[in-house]
Amino acid sequence: MNKLFSIFLLLPLAVYAEPPKIVSPIDHAPLFHACSEKQENLNISSNQLIDKLVAIYHINRKTAERVVSLLDTIPAAAQPGFDCSNVDTEYNNIHK
């Protein structure tokens, strides 16, 4: 009984741990800014990128963490010359 109870407690965590299937409209601009900053410095770490989004664009930390995690799932975004104007479409196509 305890094992079954533990599984039910962990199930919601597994669901929330998955990245969303599409980019929420509220995340379009922050994701674009994250991508643009990543293109300026491809060696920037996720934590540095989050700090930069919070400081420069006044994006709250939770949103910055979310969009950086979205950006990290797009392999092409880590390549030079990636077109950030379509970063949300690229994410949606990858996660269909």
Concatenate the DSSP letters of all residues of 19-60 into one string.
PPSS--GGGHHHHHHHHHHHHH-TT--HHHHHHHHHHHH---
- Print the domain residue range for 87: 2-94
> Picking from 8-17, 19-28, 41-50, 82-91, which range would have the lowest pLDDT averaged per residue?
8-17
pLDDT value of position 37? 98
Is pLDDT of 1 > 60?
Answer: no
Distance CA 50, CA 81 (A): 21
Q: What is the average pLDDT across 56-76?
A: 97
Number of structural domains in the chain: 1
